[in-house]
Structure 1
Amino acid sequence: MTVETLAHVGCADCPIRHRAVCARCEEDELAALDGIKYYRSYEAGQLIIWSGDVMNFVGSVVSGIATLTQTMEDGRTQMVGLLLPSDFVGRPGRSGAAYNVVATTDLVMCCFRKKPFEDLMARTPHIAQRLLEMTLDELDAAREWMLVLGRKTAREKIASLLTIIARRDASLTPQGVVNTLTFDLPLTREAMADYLGLTLETVSRQMSALKKDGVITLEGKRRIHVPNMARLFEEAGDDSDGGFLS
């Protein structure tokens, strides 16, 4: 979805409406948000925010994927998170950015001028409540990712990343997560290796193994078909509901 398309789409018809920070807003609250919002587009590889920069906006990813990275003093960089559609960018009450944010694919954001958003948030419980829910979900995801990186095998790590992307992709459609899914993988093999703490060779080998065993099929370089989501959950060490097996 492009900025030009979104300019003619009302908030009620936004593709991330039911998951974004505005999910609980009433019509008057949406109108208030509409008065301080604007759309921005970024090309794949473009820097959105540099760590330490003063942020004059916050916003939600509408389409595309971005990465959160941290860079050490000696230049080493670690990917610490993914921003998927409906994820919130920026932190009210904090002037500077804590991470580098880089567009992995072409990306569109729904941005809000920061000070007006903070003022609106203070007098709009629905926005504050939804942002709290999203923050807690992000905390849960971070704890889950600690398990992925610390305890799972290389095959389970790859399967876990695929389930995360598949579930989020499915959550943006009316039918939600179904047993058979097809989605585009937004990350290169190199980016997957960086995010998972694996070598490029290991990522390629495990992707090939999942394909050989019928867990996934590859349609081109990035298009992935999952014939049985329950089996992918099992490969990730998760149950069919997406939780961890006891």
Structure 2
Amino acid sequence: MQDTPISRPASFCDACAIRNRAICADLDDREIGLLNGIGRRRDLAAGEQLMWEGDEAVLVANVIEGVLKLSSHSADGKEQILGLVYPSDFLGRPFGQTTPYGVEAITDAHICVFERSDFDRFAREHPRLEHKLLERTLGELDRTRRWMVLLGRMNAEQKVASFLLEMADRLGLRTAGGPMRFTLPLSRQQIADVLGLTIETVSRQLTRLRNEGAIELPSRREVVLRDPADLEARAG
């Protein structure tokens, strides 16, 4: 399969929607201009693979729009979803030789992509970016550890409620106040895989939350969090 064509607008950093939240947020205008010179914009269709587990680490990227999944495969070929990445998240392994996980778009996505060797060189020459990279990495490590501990202690209702709240957070919706509507980027089977549940359990919990007024389910993929406070109480 041919890769989606990559383009570089003349000055795409100037209009970047996630610039203030991305890994390049602390760079000055001169540094942004230099980074702009080595970056490319790329569109991904839902289902398109960006990186393959175990391959040479050729690219790194910032997510501008869309949601992508990180996954690994067991010896028998079963996929394990390791996490999701959202707008302003950073993808790839700077200073590494191989890619530790596969990366696939689960919605249509727009990313800013860099050749890893170019990005590594730029990071070494610009300590503020290197510091931001370390800060972001440690933050993601803390998030992952916290999520693992919580999932290990939660029952099914707590897991599903926590997942919905986490998704609203990562999509930037929980600051808006009131009911929050979004489209689930994962199928119910994928949600079950992430949470360590069966698809039947996920469906039962969503139905229960709907029947008890915490959420609405306008369609199979659409969710409205009607009562976030109730969901937080359920999540524990």
Q: Shared fold by TM > 0.5? A: yes
The CA distance in 2 between the partners of 1:47 and 1:23, in whole Å, is: 27
Relative to structure 1, is the Cα distance of residues 158 and 7 closer, same or farther in structure 2, using a 3 angstrom cutoff?
A: farther
Relative to structure 1, is the Cα distance of residues 73 and 5 closer, same or farther in structure 2, using a 3 angstrom cutoff?
A: closer
The CA distance in 1 between the partners of 2:89 and 2:207, in whole Å, is: 30
Q: How many residues align?
A: 232
Q: Letter of the aligned partner of 1:210 in structure 2?
A: L
Relative to structure 1, is the Cα distance of residues 16 and 125 closer, same or farther in structure 2, using a 3 angstrom cutoff?
A: same
Q: Letter of the aligned partner of 1:134 in structure 2?
A: R
Contact 1:40/1:109 (8 A) holds in 2: yes
Contact 2:180/2:224 (8 A) holds in 1: yes
Contact 1:148/1:160 (8 A) holds in 2: no
Give aligned-pair identity as a percent: 39
CA RMSD of aligned residues (A): 2.2
Instruction: With the length of structure 2 as denominator, give the TM-score of the two structures.
Output: 0.90
Gaps of 5+ in 2: none
The CA distance in 2 between the partners of 1:208 and 1:123, in whole Å, is: 53
- How do 1:46-85 and structure 2 match up within 5 A? 46-85=48-87
Gaps of 5+ in 1: 238-246
The CA distance in 1 between the partners of 2:222 and 2:6, in whole Å, is: 26
Moved over 6 A (4+): 3-6
Equivalent residue number for residue 146 of structure 2: 144
Contact 1:167/1:177 (8 A) holds in 2: no
The CA distance in 1 between the partners of 2:156 and 2:90, in whole Å, is: 29
Relative to structure 1, is the Cα distance of residues 15 and 162 closer, same or farther in structure 2, using a 3 angstrom cutoff?
A: same
The CA distance in 2 between the partners of 1:10 and 1:195, in whole Å, is: 34
Relative to structure 1, is the Cα distance of residues 10 and 43 closer, same or farther in structure 2, using a 3 angstrom cutoff?
A: closer
User: Does 1:182 find its partner at 2:184?
Assistant: no
Question: Which of residues 136, 158, 161 in structure 2 aligns to 1:159?
Answer: 161
The CA distance in 1 between the partners of 2:7 and 2:101, in whole Å, is: 29
Equivalent residue number for residue 220 of structure 2: 221
Contact 2:7/2:42 (8 A) holds in 1: no
- Give 3-state SS (helix, strand or coil) of 1:164's partner: helix
- Give 3-state SS (helix, strand or coil) of 2:98's partner: coil
Cα shift readout 1:170-201 (whole Å, capped 9, x = no counterpart): 26xxx935343222211111110111111111
Relative to structure 1, is the Cα distance of residues 4 and 25 closer, same or farther in structure 2, using a 3 angstrom cutoff?
A: same
The CA distance in 2 between the partners of 1:188 and 1:202, in whole Å, is: 14
The CA distance in 1 between the partners of 2:97 and 2:149, in whole Å, is: 31
Contact 1:179/1:230 (8 A) holds in 2: no
Relative to structure 1, is the Cα distance of residues 8 and 36 closer, same or farther in structure 2, using a 3 angstrom cutoff?
A: closer
Q: Letter of the aligned partner of 2:191 in structure 1?
A: M
